[in-house]
Homo-oligomer: A and B are copies of this chain.
Amino acid sequence: MLILHNMQISGNCYKVRLAARQLGIALQLKEYGLGSGLTRTPEFLAKNPIGRVPLLELEDGRCLAESGAILFYLAEGSALVPKDSWTRAKMLEWMFFEQYEHEPYVAVARRWLAFEPKEALEALEAKRHLVPEWHAKGNVALTVMEKHLAKNDWFAGAYSIADIALYGYTHSAAEGGFELSRYPAVSYWLKRVAAQPNHIPLSERW
């Protein structure tokens, strides 16, 4: 069985769990708690030298990092990846957008504002001056999504792994201090994603 090296609260890991569930792919989960240091052990760094989850491990031990690449690997050939070459490229455009323009602000704000353990308040204080930049740039990304979703139901043709990739941290953006009520088209899209067959919430244990 495929092993997913997982952190339950991570939106990047959630994307993989959600796609796998909707694709009917079984995963064995191995949990890495935030601040546990488990992604910095020599054993883990041998699997993924950048020390991050999610990490997908095949039965023969080969490993694949980067949520976008894992989503593509699991979903290729399914209805979650558009058959048409242009639409597939647009799907990848939104997935790269998510990792470059969205996640570094929307996810990072949530990570520090919602999940920083009390022991590390000093670390949070050292980041505090970055909060306005996270909010400003995250709101730029949400505004770009809003413009697209005002005219389209999904990011690339039908519901695809681009929607899953963007849902991961958008649906939980309020935890990072973002006001989703400012984005009505995004809010409706969040409901459409959550209404898809076999949807699971981030908190759902495997």
Chain A positions within 8 Å of B, measured between CB atoms, are 49-50, 62, 64-70, 72-73, 76, 85-86, 88-90, 92-93, 95-97, 99-101, 103-104, 140-141, 143-144, 147-148
Q: A85-B76, A86-B73 are in contact. Are A97 and B66 (CB under 8 A)?
A: yes
Q: How many copies does the complex hold?
A: 2
Q: Return A68 CB to nearest CB of chain B, in Å.
A: 5
5 A-B pairs with the lowest CB-CB distances in the bound complex, closest first: A73-B89, A69-B93, A66-B96, A69-B92, A66-B93
Report the separation of the CA atoms of residues A88 and B143 in the bound assembly, to the nearest whole angstrom.
32
B50–A68 contact, CB under 8 A? no
**A-B pairs with beta carbons under 8 Å apart, 16 shown:** A49-B143, A50-B97, A65-B97, A66-B100, A69-B89, A69-B93, A72-B89, A73-B89, A73-B92, A76-B88, A96-B99, A99-B99, A99-B100, A100-B103, A100-B104, A104-B104
Residue on B nearest A62 in the bound complex, by CB? B86
Q: Return A59 CB to nearest CB of chain B, in Å.
A: 13
B68–A96 contact, CB under 8 A? yes
Complex interface: chain B residues within 8 A of A90 (CB): 64, 69
Complex interface: chain B residues within 8 A of A97 (CB): 50, 65-66
Q: Return A82 CB to nearest CB of chain B, in Å.
A: 12
Residue on B nearest A72 in the bound complex, by CB? B92
Q: A66-B93, A90-B69, A100-B66 are in contact. Are A49 and B85 (CB under 8 A)?
A: no
Q: A86-B73, A99-B99, A104-B104 are in contact. Are A65 and B50 (CB under 8 A)?
A: no
Complex interface: chain B residues within 8 A of A95 (CB): 69, 96
Q: A64-B90, A76-B85 are in contact. Are A147 and B99 (CB under 8 A)?
A: no
B101–A89 contact, CB under 8 A? no
Report the separation of the CA atoms of residues A141 and B51 in the bound assembly, to the nearest whole angstrom.
11
Report the separation of the CA atoms of residues A67 and B68 in the bound assembly, to the nearest whole angstrom.
15
